[in-house]
Structure formats: structure tokens, C-alpha cells
Structure 1
Amino acid sequence: MELEDSWGRWEAAPLGEVVALMRGLAAPWWVGGGYAIQLAVGHAYREHEDVDIVLLRRDQLEVRRLLDGWDFHVPGLTDGLRPWALDEVLPGQAHNVWVRERPGGPWRFELLLEDVDGQEWIYRRDRRIRRPLAELTVEADGLRLVAPEVQLLYKAKGTRRKDEVDFEAILPRLTQGQRCWLEAALEVGHDAHPWRERLRHMA
């Protein structure tokens, strides 16, 4: 799917192609975003305009070296996009990286950097929300995915239609433990979020 952005055109690579690239990474990584929800649901229910790959901030140089030859840029550090040089450690305020095969080409996928404290994951938008790193992901179709309740926490920030579609699709499949965790996390980070009532209603 193609999407025009003020910083260039997005033409998301097929998920399988990105997964094939990432299989060469020794450090842990996971599928995130809408694909993480879809894979947990078990079937396709909407189109995806991007591909998100999640890894730990401490492993950033491993993926940068693995894909040396690709074009990496970081949004949010300046007024535009800033190139990410080989062997440069990104500052803590850099949370995502756009990746394309060549300068001037379409953006193909996005890397998301997650913070940890030892073996504990930290929600970057509210550091009071934490979780054992071992509970951050689940497995589906032979892939590690960001756990749906964690991915929904990130999606709760806005009011995008696709996020509501993802919530509707995965809600019946969440366990009671997953629903309780997400409702408690929303209480801390997004107290007035409408998903809280629906999560409580299913408990």
C-alpha cells in the first residue's frame, strides 16, 4: 500500500520480505503495529500502510550494521528527517527509524526502539507502566509479536479508525489477564480512554 508523506512516499514492503531481512539479526526483534494485532487474531481484516519492527534500544547498532547499505533516517530530532550513520548510537529521544532501500526511494518499513531496565520493559509514554521483558511478546505463525495488550496501549494514544478496528478485532480473543493488564495500564496512562469501560464489561 502506498502513502504519501511530506518527507517522501511510503510504499510498505510485504511483511514477509521484512521478516526475511530481520532473520539475520542475532538480537531479539518482534513484529509490531497493526500486523501484530492481525497475526494474533489469525486472519486478515484490513489493509496495512506500514510495517513496524520492534527491538530493544540497546540492540540498535546490530540492526544498523545488519542492514548497512539501506538508507536510515530518524524523524522527530530536527524539523525534518535526520540520517542515521553507521555505528552512531541514537539519542534517547529517538524512538523510531524510517528505512528505505536507497536515498530518494519509497520508505519501506519502520524500526521502533523500546527501552528496558534490566529485564523490565518500560512504556516510553509513561515510565510508571512496566512489564517483565519475558511477557512483552507472544508467538503466532512462527513469529514473535508484541503482545496485543501492549500494542493496544500504544494505539490508545490517538483516535485513528484503524486502531479502533484493531481493538474490535482482538478484543474477543484477549484473555482475562490481558484485558485486566490493559485496563490497569490505561488507568495510569490514559485514564479517560473509552476502551476501559469495554474491557471492564468483558471481565
Structure 2
Amino acid sequence: MMRIETPWGPWEAAPLDEVVALMRGLAAPWWVAGGYAIELAVGRPYREHEDVDIALLRRDQLAVRRLLHDWDVHAAVVPRTLRPWALEEVLPESAHDIWVREHPEGPWRFQLMLDEADGEEWVYRRDPRIRRPLAGLTVEEDGFHRLAPEVQLLYKAKGRRPKDETDFEKALPLLSDGQRRWLDEALEMEHTTHSWRERLRRDP
């Protein structure tokens, strides 16, 4: 894993299998997100990863905080600011990005992302018009869940970083007609003229 320097200390992501093993202790639903969600869908490694993202529903936040009671856990509550997340503290709705490390002197090891839900529907926090049944949000594989690739690509569509473009290129041939249609419609709502839309409808 690569080492990345940040204003809040270095990142040295834990191996994905170690994070998955840790998260198996959580009774609430969780899933692998980020670049690894796309790589798992592709079925082979094709680029380096700076971090490991694990997502879960905001309503299950206290359960995961209790699981990580021995870890140093910080929440990003406002842009470019981290603060410790205390046990039994319910985070404000503005907090959705959590950084985790073994101890204060060590590097950050993985991230938690808090997702929104309305009953049995997942709600896209950047545009609540975009929704999806929780039952179809993830794919179970190898005994754990990963975020469906079309949903992960929606998150990546905003940044358009080189790694996001790479992930789109790798995932596009694997998307079914239904997955392409869902992503195209979601992009139409959030981004309207996004260049990925034409390729979703055109490329085989």
C-alpha cells in the first residue's frame, strides 16, 4: 500500500482483507465502497489504492463506533477539519466521512462513509431525488457485500479524477442495460451534461 501525507497525519491503508475481517464483527449491514468496489466487480487488480472505504447506514453509526472502541476514530464534521468521535456520540448529519487508525501516533488505516436511508430505500446524499431499494444497493460476493458498480460510479462522477476515469473505463463493459440506464438517469438528475452519459448509451 502507498503512503500518503495529509495535514492530519499520514495515510497507509490497511489491506482490504484485514478491514473486511474486522467489519465481520458488525451485526449491522455494511459494504465495501470506493475504488475497491469497482475492482471487485471487475475481478482483478488494475491500479493502486490510496485508501479503503467501508460504507454503512447512518442509523447504524453507534454500532460501528462500539465495534471500533479500541481504535482512534475521527469524524470530518466541516470541510478540512477532523475531530475525535467519542463513544456513544451521535454525529451530526453534516458528518459522513470517518477516518480510522489503530492509535493516535499511527497512520490512518481506512475510512467509514455514512449513507442515508429512508425506511428501506437508500437516499443519495448529494441529491435526495436519487433513491434505490436497499435490497438492490449492494452485491454479495466472497461472504461480504460491495456497493453496486453503477452506484459507486455515480459517486465518482463528480470528481472526474484520473482514477475515477480509470474505474469508469474498467466497469463500463461489465454494466448491464439496466445498470447503464439507472446510472444515466441518475447522472441526468445530478449532472445533466456529464460526458459519461453518451458512452453509457453508445459503448458496447
TM tier, smaller: over 0.9
C-alpha displacement of 1:79: 5.4
Q: Determine whether 1:137 maps to 2:151.
A: no
1:1-203 alignment, distance < 5 Å: 1-77=2-78, 80-202=81-203
Partner SS for 2:146: strand
Deviations 1:44-98, CA, capped at 9 Å, x for gaps: 1111110000100000000100110100111243752111000000000101100
For normalisation by structure 1, the TM-score amounts to 0.97
Deviations 1:20-63 (A, max 9, x none): 10000000100000000000111111111100001000000001
The answer to whether the 8 A contact 2:77-2:92 is kept is no
Partner of 1:111, secondary structure, is strand
Query: Which consecutive residues of structure 1, in runs of 5 or more, have no partner in the other structure?
Result: none
Q: What amino acid does structure 1 have at the position aligned with 2:133?
A: P
Tell me, in whole angstroms, the C-alpha distance in 2 between the residues paired with 1:188 and 1:76.
27
CA distance in 2, matches of 1:79, 1:58: 24
Q: Partner letter of residue 17 of structure 1? A: E
SS in structure 1 at match of 2:90: coil
Q: What amino acid maps onto 2:46 in structure 1? A: Y
Give TM-score scaled by structure 2 length.
0.97
Distance 1:60 1:74 in 2: 12
Tell me, yes or no, if the aligned pair for 1:52 and 1:112 is still in contact at 8 Å: yes
Tell me: CA distance 1:178–1:78, structure 2 relative to 1, closer, same or farther (3 Å). Answer: closer
Corresponding pairs, count: 203
User: What's the offset of the Cα at 1:159?
Assistant: 1.8
Distance in 1 (CA, whole Å) between partners of 2:200 and 2:80 is: 39
The list of structure 1 runs, each at least 4 consecutive aligned residues, that deviate by more than 3 angstroms after superposition, is none
Tell me if the contact between 1:31 and 1:52 (Cα under 8 Å) persists in the aligned partners: yes
1:88-111 per-residue CA deviation (whole Å, 9 max, x = no partner) reads 000001011000000121000000
- How high is the sequence identity, in percent, across the aligned residues? 69
